[in-house]
Amino acid sequence: MNSSQGSTSRREFIKTSGKSAAFSALANVAIPPVHAAGSDLIQVALVGCGGRGGGAAANALSVKRGPVKLVAMADLFPERLASDLNKLQQHFPSQVDVPPDRQFLGFDAYRKAMDCLKPGDIAIFATPPAFRWVHFTYAIQKGLNVFMEKPLTADGPTSKRMFALAQDASAKNLKVGVGLMSRHSRALQELADRVHNGEIGEIVLQRGYRMHGPGGYFLSLPKPSGITDLLYQVKRFHSFIWASGGCYNDFYIHIIDHLGWMKNQWPVKAQALGGRHYKVSPEGVAYVDQNFDVYSVEYTYSDGTKFFFDGRCMNGCEEIYTSCLQGTKGMGIASKSGDCGLPSSLYKSQTATPADLIWESKVSPDEKDPYQNEWNDLMDAIRDNKPYNEVKRGVEASLVSSMGRMAANTGREIAFDEMLQCEHDMAPNIEKFTMDSPAPLVADTNGRYPVPQPGIVTTREY
């Protein structure tokens, strides 16, 4: 790998496509002996060429322990694939080798892209989450290592499937990274050690907030002509629970995940409020997505302690996007701002006043970016042949997210096991989807899809 080439432009690319904070310079990094499928080159295929897919591919091409090449790409839409390919080619000219015959489109494109790899190479999954289990099944068959984006599941049946697949992957000694990058934040890693060592006593309360204006595909207008229902729902996946778990799972999972980590367990149940307030566009057209504008969730841990999570996608309200924990001897701030924003800190009182500061994280510049760290950690495991499989806890974090969402959507307390056992398979036959398949959600004559009705529809979410 030409390590000095284009480092500034690489940095810019990663910044704009992976929310990353810093870039690990490749200059002067000696390439060690490797154990990847008998060759020192690891090839990568990207499945899902959107914002995060491009960012994850850039992180893959920037790992400390190369060499790595991107050799195949898959998407449903040619313009998405072309856009990521162009950007990656510009920023990593010597590491992108994806000629037209290794660019694949369609619901079976994932197979063709993975067919370009050899065992020990890496497949990246950055499509909407509903496809995760389908793509993972094939990667395991092919003996591929995987990096898959969060969330991993939105319902009970696919969570069970993913738990089983996680075991299959470990049985084949495959390494699997999951894009819950908080776990690779060096600040949160040190915070977890300190909290688990009792520096603020027993954790008795946690709070998480993600409140900002509508973003991503949170809102959707009725389907326009010229696109099928299925492709519309896949494209605007944050709007539809089957595709992503809705905004609740997609946006809130990071804070839910790292607060569970700090507590060293998952909540056992949730009860929640939620509502749709402003579901009409400025032009007076009703939005047809399935999201609530607000969610207020009370999670309970097995020791009776609580974790309160507030999510809001509304303009004009106060924006709060942070996570914190209260212990018997003080408090901690996990993410100062954002999903896992630096610094993390601990205080000897219940208020975050500078005079009471016990500890504030300090992270070396080349490890400030958790999106790059998660790739360096995965690559270390591959090169050194160390066990590495983040899928089980990724499914658990997805289930805890779904449990909060289902509690709000039904108006009922939902236990972790009830979420796992819930039989509502939200995207049946997804493994057989073609461009002409019917969509999992059917619109009424006004173009509206079923929305949650707490207290009325209570054994499933819609």
Ligand X SMILES: NC(=O)c1ccc[n+]([C@@H]2O[C@H](COP(=O)([O-])OP(=O)(O)OC[C@H]3O[C@@H](n4cnc5c(N)ncnc54)[C@H](O)[C@@H]3O)[C@@H](O)[C@H]2O)c1
The footprint of ligand X (CB under 6 A) covers 19, 47-53, 74-77, 80, 107, 109-110, 126-129, 131, 149-150, 179, 181, 234, 250, 339
CB of 131 to ligand X, least distance (A): 4
The nearer residue to ligand X, 77 or 359, going by C-beta atoms, is: 77
**Residue 452 CA from chain centroid, whole number:** 23
Q: How many CB atoms lie within 10 A of CB 418?
A: 15
- The DSSP call for residue 62 is T
The nearer residue to ligand X, 140 or 247, going by C-beta atoms, is: 247
The nearer residue to ligand X, 218 or 347, going by C-beta atoms, is: 218
**Residue 271 CA from chain centroid, whole number:** 23
Q: What Å distances lie between residue 97 and 74, 121, 126, 445, CA to CA?
A: 14, 15, 19, 47
d(CA 3, CA 432): 42
> Is the Cα dihedral 386, 133, 409, 281 positive or negative?
positive
Burial level of 163, CB count in 10 A (0-12/13-18/19+)? middle
CB of 7 to ligand X, least distance (A): 23
The nearer residue to ligand X, 347 or 433, going by C-beta atoms, is: 433
The nearer residue to ligand X, 315 or 434, going by C-beta atoms, is: 434
Token pair for 364: 């070396």
CB of 422 to ligand X, least distance (A): 21
How many H-runs (helices) and E-runs (strands) does the chain carry?
13, 15
Residue number of the CB closest to ligand X reads: 50
Q: How far apart are the first and last CA of the chain?
A: 51
d(CA 279, CA 401): 23
Q: Tally the residues of the chain.
A: 462
CB of 196 to ligand X, least distance (A): 24
CB of 305 to ligand X, least distance (A): 27
Q: Is 237 left (phi over 0), alpha (psi -120 to 50) or beta?
A: alpha
CB of 45 to ligand X, least distance (A): 11
Q: What string of DSSP letters covers 307-326? A: EEEEEEE-TTSPPEEEEEEE
CB of 209 to ligand X, least distance (A): 17
The nearer residue to ligand X, 53 or 404, going by C-beta atoms, is: 53
Question: Cβ(105)–Cβ(76) under 8 Å?
Answer: yes
The nearer residue to ligand X, 310 or 431, going by C-beta atoms, is: 431
Q: Report helix, strand or coil for 356.
A: helix
CB of 49 to ligand X, least distance (A): 5
CB of 353 to ligand X, least distance (A): 31
The nearer residue to ligand X, 165 or 181, going by C-beta atoms, is: 181
Count Cβ neighbours within 10 Å for each residue of 419-444 and write b for 16 or more, e otherwise. Answer: bbebeeebbeebeebeeeeebbbebe
The nearer residue to ligand X, 102 or 329, going by C-beta atoms, is: 102
The nearer residue to ligand X, 57 or 203, going by C-beta atoms, is: 57
The nearer residue to ligand X, 131 or 266, going by C-beta atoms, is: 131
Question: Cβ(240)–Cβ(233) under 8 Å?
Answer: yes
CB of 410 to ligand X, least distance (A): 23
Angle at 194 between CA 193 and CA 198, to 5 degrees: 115
CB of 356 to ligand X, least distance (A): 31
